[in-house]
């Protein structure tokens, strides 16, 4: 027990790798064993995280459960991990969504072993980013996450569909999407790597706490340039890398492709966790390392955020593909996260900023729940009908009443209906941003209005309307959502409702963390 | 006492979950749970209400309790419950109407009837064939989604109770939006009908326009005052500060702007012009839904919120003028449309919009109590009228099924003579209609409407007064038109001929509501009213008025508004009777004017101005142009450029220069020189000798010219 307590973070971090190795050793054809092993072992990090949540002292400043091991002595980089309220929330989201996504993947029949292996490996990559307190380690995990996701999209993505690049050149949609995903992120990573190297070269350490202190007190010139210039350039290097990941308008077009082509569980994790890596980067690195630059360029960030909110909503409304519609909703929702961050950057330390940050972090968690749920529900329909075209649906409600009820519930969470989780976080962001970025907040309301439009469009085109004869009888007969699928949705729905009614249990942790981080 | 208030919204919510999750297969159990839950909340509400009216100086000793909800920095945002005099009367009418509607729904959704022959979820029941005495005939069939209907009603009731008992704007907004969701679900209850699913979306989106403004207003208010609790906001020093702060928009004070933003929410929810378009379409829902939405809960909620925020809104005269204008304009505008509608429910829908306009206008002229009074009386008589119209439709359906007549059972021109077939429905509908028209003294509607007119006149708002008076005349006129066409004369179709009275579950609520529609006015008779004033104390004014910090003064009595009120009510009713008693078909109706029938073309205009452009922005501009063409185009351009660069390096640097010139080139050179030199080494002596000679000669010549010549 004492060992678990003192090594809890590394256990959470590396247990999925162990699970992946175990899965690798299982016989290839025993699908049942592979699936249940992967699911069962992925519950261990979740259980550990729940234990961690109970042991975590939310009122205590700084990082807790820190562990540090030698890693790359020549560069002075160490495997340094720790949690505060911010990373703890994200770790909880990750360890929760992974088993859910694995259970959702039970319908995969093609190369199950490789699939489960990559998925578990991916979990470690994501957790590493949230837990790292060393910039180089942060970057390593940041990149590690890309590889499994690339293969998940590329190998297990939807088989149909082509994308025309330019006249006469077409490639398979999932190749296009996976390539776009990895190249886009890598392009952002280049600047990030250079900026991290700059810090490492300057201060001979990659430790986050040490870097933050020294970097912020730096004066004079660096490499023959004024500090302000260097800081501005490296600020934007960080921002672009994270903005691509969030994704912020206009760096968002990889997202609808990647989300749409990825296998169902891949989309769940992409939307649920991977997007949060970008937002987490803003909160963990950009704001603490560049307070002055963040404040200076807060208006620009807010502008991009509002563009994402408004045009994300419009784009979602304009889709005919159900999955693409849901994918674009992520752009819309993550825009609110950035709006909150921008407001906090502009007026750091104020109560308004604190409220905006509370909203932003809670929105990250909430979007993880509702987006994962929505993608799963789209997947449930796709597995049965092999189409995502909204024009093919309509009038399905009488055929699948339980599915319909769950879809409406989850859609309403995504819409931000008061009483469910999304409302709390969006309200806090709007409340926090209003006095700081009044005009931008007001414009963002257009996006909020059209959130309603695209959500209702989804429900209307899938469920409502005259009974759909095509799916009603015969070989096309649409079957009701099954027990396994309901169990996938159950934890998400319960949390959506619980956070909507009583958000204080999680918001208290977030609030204290935000107060101590950005006082 | 506060613990009961905390618990008031819970039974319907629990009913919702229990029905959805467990009992939806069992219809009797489901409606039992729902009605029981509504009854429990009703009982609790009555206990709270009676305790409230029994409390000395209740305005100063209200029931309130709060808990921490959202941590914000070092403080908490609190939420809680509050019942003050305004809340108490709202709770009173909401509890009664909700409970009645629950009971009524049992009969309306045909409980106890057989399953339909071809009924399927998502469509209204079409009737079932039964055999009696060896003869086959068709009777109404039970609603296929009977249990679900009661679940939704429960959630709706939950939303209303949350709204009424809230002590703060945030949970009030929560209840507000939950009702919005339920109205969406209930309007689209028969989702198989394309018209119903479109109406549902239209209702949700139109009210959401108001809601996002309201959300901004809440955010603004919260930023400016640090609280959302009514008690904190309405502290004199807070209000003073808000009134003094200036904003750049329209020259309004902070109070004025916040008030305006919140009021836009009311405009959406209470279907005021220009956001009125959703309400008539909402008639697609089953009738109890119409009553629920249009009388008891949702639209009343909008006005309730505006009345609730009166201390804030009234701080800025500019905002008050806007409120008064919108209310008065809507009152008249909707009344002009109502006169030309033939659908029995649509007439009531427009009349609702118009009556809500009366309340908003009253608020705009500062008549706080009058607005609240009309809110309560209207809730009773409009719920009565909607349920009554549902009863009429139900009776007509019965006749239509029995005779196989396919006439539109909601068209008033297909009715006629129903007073004999459906006596209870007729008498109660008559009471409701007279209350709506403001029939003098006997009906509640008279007292509340008269008070609004008196207030508008007394406060010197002549334009509002005249507009409302004209609207009231129209109201009486179209009400009598409706009553005459529906109940008087002779049946004009077979369906009307064979219409029959509805079961007791439907008529009992009608009778109870009729009692309130007639009698509730007696609690608010002005003290200086001729003959009757002072016999019964003006309890309503005293009680509700004490909600405000400063008790509002009653206006001085004047004969002008009273005479106007009497004239428009009796004149309108009389004219309606005279014109329509002999009208038998729409052709004889002189009011079937296209511009009125088509609601002044607002739907068409909005479609052109907002809906189509929104589609265009979403589908063409954002999706195709911006994301696909521009952004992806740039990306693909970059990809193409990289490909070009790769190609260039491969074909113009790597291949020709590196590979061919340097790589292959060196090889080739060596090879070429090798093969060239090979010829020399042919192994023939003569050849070698010739070469030696030539070389010797060349060197000799070179030597001679270069060195020897020097």
Work out the minimum CA distance from B121 to partner chain A, whole angstroms.
Answer: 6
Omega before residue A250 within 30° of 0, cis: yes
User: Following DSSP, what letter does each residue of B314-361 receive, concatenated?
Assistant: TT-HHHHHHHHHHHHHHHHHHHHHHTT--BHHHHHHHHHHHHHHHHHH
Residue of A nearest to B185 (CA): A408
Burial A284-306 (b: 16+ CB within 10 A, else e): bbbbbbbbebbbebbeebbbbbb
On the 0-12 / 13-18 / 19+ scale of CB atoms within 10 A, A62 is exposed
Q: What angle do CA A312, A318, A321 make, to 5 degrees?
A: 100
Alpha helices in A416-482 (DSSP H): 421-433, 438-462
Residue with tokens 């162990």: A18
Question: Residue B447: which pLDDT band, with cuts at 50, 70 and 90?
Answer: confident
On the 0-12 / 13-18 / 19+ scale of CB atoms within 10 A, A422 is buried
Work out the minimum CA distance from B197 to partner chain A, whole angstroms.
Answer: 7
pLDDT for res B682: 66
Interface check A94 vs B, CB under 8 A: no
Q: What is the per-residue pLDDT across B385-427, written as a single tens digit (0 to 9) for each?
A: 999 998 998 888 888 888 877 778 888 888 888 888 888 999 9
Q: Coil, helix or strand for B111?
A: coil
On the 0-12 / 13-18 / 19+ scale of CB atoms within 10 A, B118 is exposed
Question: How far apart (Å, rounded) are the C-alpha atoms in residues A394 and B191?
Answer: 10
Interface check A465 vs B, CB under 8 A: yes
Work out the minimum CA distance from B201 to partner chain A, whole angstroms.
Answer: 7
Strands B128-132 and B135-139: antiparallel
Query: Mean pLDDT lowest for which of A345-354, B281-290, B329-338?
Result: B281-290
- Average pLDDT score over residue span B44-54: 90
The two three-digit tokens of residue A169, written as one number:
């050149």
Residue of B nearest to A513 (CA): B73
Residue of A nearest to B77 (CA): A504
Q: Which of A352, A448, A449 lies nearest to residue B223, judging by beta carbons?
A: A352
Nearest to A421 by CA among A486, A506, A501: A501
pLDDT for res B90: 92
Work out the minimum CA distance from B643 to partner chain A, whole angstroms.
Answer: 12
Residue B156 and residue B183 in contact, taking contact as beta carbons nearer than 8 Å: yes
pLDDT for res A86: 93
Work out the minimum CA distance from B72 to partner chain A, whole angstroms.
Answer: 6
- Is residue A364 assigned to a domain? yes
pLDDT for res B650: 84
For residue B368, the cross-strand partners are: none
Map out the domains of chain B as residue ranges: 1-108+145-315, 324-593, 606-700
Q: What is the per-residue pLDDT across A463-493, written as a single tens digit (0 to 9) for each?
A: 998 888 888 887 788 888 899 999 999 999 9
- Is residue A370 assigned to a domain? yes
Residue B623 pLDDT exceeds 90: no
Work out the minimum CA distance from A285 to partner chain B, whole angstroms.
Answer: 22
Question: How far apart (Å, rounded) are the C-alpha atoms in residues A185 and A208?
Answer: 22
Question: How far apart (Å, rounded) are the C-alpha atoms in residues B343 and B285?
Answer: 14
pLDDT for res A488: 93
Residue A447 and residue A315 in contact, taking contact as beta carbons nearer than 8 Å: no
Q: What is the per-residue pLDDT across A377-421, written as a single tens digit (0 to 9) for each?
A: 999 999 888 888 888 888 888 889 899 999 999 999 999 899 899
Residue B608 pLDDT exceeds 90: no
Q: How many CB atoms lie within 10 A of CB B664?
A: 14
Residues 6+ apart with CB under 8 A from A77: A71, A134, A135, A136, A137, A200, A205, A206
Q: Which of B69, B194, B215 lies nearest to residue A504, judging by beta carbons?
A: B69
Please count the residue pairs, one from chain A and one from chain B, whose beta carbons lie less than 8 angstroms apart.
153
Question: How far apart (Å, rounded) are the C-alpha atoms in residues B457 and B466?
Answer: 9
Q: What is the per-residue pLDDT across A46-69, written as a single tens digit (0 to 9) for each?
A: 999 999 999 999 888 889 999 999
Interface check B208 vs A, CB under 8 A: yes
Residue B606 pLDDT exceeds 60: yes
Residue A97 and residue A372 in contact, taking contact as beta carbons nearer than 8 Å: yes
pLDDT for res A470: 83
| pTM of the shown model | 0.90
Residues 6+ apart with CB under 8 A from B671: none
pLDDT for res A304: 94
Residue with tokens 């175990």: A22
User: Following DSSP, what letter does each residue of A237-286 receive, concatenated?
Assistant: HHHHHHHHHTTPTTS-THHHHHHHHS-HHHHHHIIIIIHHHHHHHIIIII
Residue A150 and residue A181 in contact, taking contact as beta carbons nearer than 8 Å: yes
B174 and A397 within 8 Å at the Cβ level: the answer is no
A165 and B636 within 8 Å at the Cβ level: the answer is yes
Interface check B72 vs A, CB under 8 A: yes
Query: From the DSSP assignment, how many helices (H) and strands (E) are in chain A?
Result: 23, 6
Interface check A393 vs B, CB under 8 A: no
Residue A305 and residue A440 in contact, taking contact as beta carbons nearer than 8 Å: yes
**How many distinct structural domains can be found in chain A?**
1
On the 0-12 / 13-18 / 19+ scale of CB atoms within 10 A, B243 is middle
Question: Residue B522: which pLDDT band, with cuts at 50, 70 and 90?
Answer: confident
Chain B residue numbers with beta carbons less than 8 Å from the beta carbon of A304 are: none
Q: Which of A256, A452, A515 lies nearest to residue B205, judging by beta carbons?
A: A452
Work out the minimum CA distance from B311 to partner chain A, whole angstroms.
Answer: 22
Average pLDDT over chain B reads: 86
Residue B134 pLDDT exceeds 80: no
Residue A276 and residue A341 in contact, taking contact as beta carbons nearer than 8 Å: no
Nearest to A296 by CA among A358, A351, A342, A239: A342
The two three-digit tokens of residue A71, written as one number:
């890693």
The two three-digit tokens of residue B588, written as one number:
């004889």
Q: Which domain holds residue A339?
A: 294-481
Residue of B nearest to A311 (CA): B622
Residue of A nearest to B206 (CA): A449
Nearest to A360 by CA among A336, A342, A332: A336
Interface check B215 vs A, CB under 8 A: yes
Where is B70: in which H helix or E strand? strand B63-72
Chain B residue numbers with beta carbons less than 8 Å from the beta carbon of A472 are: none
Residue A273 and residue A126 in contact, taking contact as beta carbons nearer than 8 Å: yes
Question: How far apart (Å, rounded) are the C-alpha atoms in residues B197 and A462?
Answer: 12
Strands A221-222 and A225-226: antiparallel
- Is residue A308 assigned to a domain? yes
Strands B63-72 and B75-83: antiparallel
Residue of B nearest to A425 (CA): B70
Q: Which of B74, B122, B218 lies nearest to residue A398, judging by beta carbons?
A: B122
């Amino acid at each position: 027990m004492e060992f678990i307590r003192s090594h809890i973070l590394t256990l959470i971090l590396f247990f999925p790798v162990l699970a992946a190795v175990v899965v690798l050793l299982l016989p290839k054809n025993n699908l049942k064993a592979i699936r249940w092993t992967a699911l069962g072992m992925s519950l261990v990090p979740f259980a550990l995280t729940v234990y961690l949540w109970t042991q975590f002292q939310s009122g205590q400043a700084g990082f807790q459960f820190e562990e540090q091991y030698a890693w790359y002595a020549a560069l002075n980089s160490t495997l340094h991990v720790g949690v505060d309220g911010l990373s703890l929330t994200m770790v909880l989201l990750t360890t929760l969504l992974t088993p859910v996504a694995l259970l959702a993947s039970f319908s995969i029949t093609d190369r199950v072993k490789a699939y489960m292996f990559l998925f578990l490996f991916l979990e470690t990559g994501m957790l590493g980013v949230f837990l790292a307190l060393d910039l180089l380690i942060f970057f390593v995990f940041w990149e590690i996450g890309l590889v499994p996701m690339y293969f998940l999209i590329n190998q297990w993505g939807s088989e149909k569909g082509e994308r025309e690049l330019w006249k006469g050149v077409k490639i398979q949609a999932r190749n296009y999407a996976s390539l776009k995903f990895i190249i886009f992120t890598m392009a952002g990573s280049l600047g990030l790597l250079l900026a991290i190297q700059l810090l490492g070269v300057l201060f001979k350490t990659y430790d986050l706490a040490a870097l933050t202190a020294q970097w912020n007190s730096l004066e004079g010139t660096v490499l023959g340039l004024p500090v302000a210039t260097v800081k501005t350039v490296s600020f934007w290097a960080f921002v672009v890398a994270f903005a691509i990941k969030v994704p912020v308008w206009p760096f968002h077009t990889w997202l609808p492709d990647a989300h749409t082509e990825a296998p169902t569980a891949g989309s769940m994790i992409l939307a649920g966790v991977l997007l949060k890596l970008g937002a987490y980067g803003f909160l963990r690195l950009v704001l603490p390392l560049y307070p002055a630059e963040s404040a200076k360029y807060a208006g620009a960030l807010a502008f991009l955020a509002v563009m994402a909110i408004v045009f994300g909503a419009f784009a979602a409304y304009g889709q005919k593909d159900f999955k693409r519609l849901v994918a674009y909703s992520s752009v819309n929702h993550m825009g609110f996260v950035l709006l909150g961050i921008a407001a906090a950057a502009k007026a750091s330390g104020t109560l308004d900023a604190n409220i905006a940050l509370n909203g932003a972090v809670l929105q990250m968690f909430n979007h993880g729940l509702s987006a994962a749920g929505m993608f799963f529900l789209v997947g449930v329909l796709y597995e049965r009908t092999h189409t995502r075209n909204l024009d093919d649906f309509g009038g399905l409600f009488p055929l699948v009443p339980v599915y319909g009820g769950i879809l409406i519930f989850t859609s309403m969470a995504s819409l931000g209906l008061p009483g469910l989780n999304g409302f709390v976080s969006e309200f806090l962001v709007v409340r926090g941003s209003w006095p700081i970025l009044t005009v931008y907040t007001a414009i963002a309301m257009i996006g909020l209005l059209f959130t309603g439009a695209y959500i209702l469009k989804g429900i209307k085109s899938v469920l409502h309307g005259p009974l759909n004869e095509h799916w009603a009888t015969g070989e096309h007969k649409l079957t009701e959502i099954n027990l396994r699928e309901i169990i996938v949705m159950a934890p998400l729905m319960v949390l959506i409702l619980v956070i909507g009614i009583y958000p204080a249990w999680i918001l208290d942790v977030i609030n204290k963390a935000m107060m101590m981080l950005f006082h | 006492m506060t613990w009961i208030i905390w618990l008031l919204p819970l039974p319907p919510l629990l009913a919702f979950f229990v029905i959805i999750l467990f009992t939806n297969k069992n219809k009797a159990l489901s409606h039992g749970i729902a009605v029981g839950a509504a009854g429990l909340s009703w009982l609790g509400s009555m206990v709270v209400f009676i305790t409230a009216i029994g409390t000395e100086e209740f305005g100063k000793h209200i029931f309130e309790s709060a808990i921490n909800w959202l941590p914000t920095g070092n403080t908490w945002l609190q939420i809680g419950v509050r019942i003050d005099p305004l809340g108490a009367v709202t709770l009173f009418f909401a509890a009664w109407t909700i409970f009645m509607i629950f009971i009524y729904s049992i009969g309306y959704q045909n409980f106890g009837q057989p399953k339909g022959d071809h009924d399927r979820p998502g469509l209204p029941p079409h009737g079932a064939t039964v055999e009696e005495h060896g003869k086959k005939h068709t009777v109404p069939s039970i609603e296929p989604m009977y249990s679900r209907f009661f679940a939704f009603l429960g959630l709706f009731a939950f939303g209303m109770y949350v709204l009424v008992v809230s002590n703060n704007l945030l949970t009030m907004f929560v209840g507000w939006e939950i009702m919005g969701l339920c109205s969406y679900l209930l309007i689209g209850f028969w989702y198989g009908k394309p018209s119903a699913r479109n109406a549902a979306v239209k209702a949700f989106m139109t009210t959401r326009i108001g809601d996002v403004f309201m959300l901004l207003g809440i955010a603004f208010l919260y930023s400016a005052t640090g609280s959302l609790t009514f008690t904190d906001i309405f502290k004199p020093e807070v209000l003073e500060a808000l009134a003094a702060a200036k904003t750049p928009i329209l020259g309004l004070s902070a109070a004025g702007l916040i008030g305006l933003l919140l009021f836009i929410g009311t405009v959406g929810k209470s279907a005021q012009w220009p956001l009125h378009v959703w309400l008539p379409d909402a008639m697609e829902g089953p009738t109890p839904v119409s009553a629920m939405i249009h009388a008891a809960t949702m639209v009343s909620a909008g006005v309730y919120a505006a009345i609730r925020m009166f201390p804030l809104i009234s701080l800025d005269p500019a905002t008050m003028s806007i409120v008064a204008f919108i209310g008065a304009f809507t009152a008249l505008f909707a009344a002009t449309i109502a006169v030309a509608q033939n659908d029995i429910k649509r007439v009531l829908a427009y009349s609702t919009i118009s009556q809500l306009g009366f309340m908003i206008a009253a608020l705009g002229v500062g008549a706080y109590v009058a607005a609240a009074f009309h809110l309560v009386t209207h809730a009773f008589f409009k719920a009565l009228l909607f349920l009554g119209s549902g009863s009429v439709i139900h009776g007509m359906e019965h006749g239509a099924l029995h005779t196989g007549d396919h006439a539109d059972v909601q068209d008033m021109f297909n009715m006629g003579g129903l007073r004999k077939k459906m006596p209870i429905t007729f008498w109660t509908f008559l009471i409701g209609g007279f209350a709506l028209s403001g029939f003098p003294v006997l009906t509640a509607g008279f007292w509340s409407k008269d008070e609004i007119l008196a207030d508008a006149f007394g406060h010197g708002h002549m334009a509002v007064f005249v507009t409302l008076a004209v609207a009231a005349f129209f109201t009486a006129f179209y009400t009598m038109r409706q009553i005459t066409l529906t109940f008087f004369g002779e049946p004009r179709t077979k369906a009307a001929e064979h219409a029959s009275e509805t079961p007791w579950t439907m008529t009992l609520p009608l009778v109870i509501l009729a009692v309130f529609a007639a009698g509730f006015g007696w609690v608010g008779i002005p003290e200086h009213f001729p003959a009757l004033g002072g016999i019964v104390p003006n309890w309503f004014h005293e009680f509700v008025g004490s909600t405000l910090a400063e008790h509002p003064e009653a206006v001085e009595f004047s004969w002008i508004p009273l005479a106007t009120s009497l004239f428009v009510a009796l004149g309108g009713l009389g004219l309606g009777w005279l014109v329509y008693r002999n009208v038998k078909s729409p052709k004889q109706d002189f009011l079937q004017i296209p511009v009125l029938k088509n609601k002044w073309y607002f739907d068409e205009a909005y479609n052109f101005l907002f809906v189509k452009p929104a589609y265009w922005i979403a589908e063409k501009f954002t999706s195709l142009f911006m994301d696909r063409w521009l952004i992806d185009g740039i990306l693909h351009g970059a990809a193409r450029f990289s490909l070009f660069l790769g190609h260039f390096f491969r074909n113009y640097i790597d291949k020709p220069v590196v590979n061919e010139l340097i790589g292959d080139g060196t090889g080739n050179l060596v090879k070429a020189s090798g093969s060239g030199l090979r010829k020399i080494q042919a192994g023939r002596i003569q050849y070698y000798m010739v070469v030696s000679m030539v070389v010797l000669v060349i060197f000799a010549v070179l030597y001679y010219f270069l060195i020897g010549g020097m």
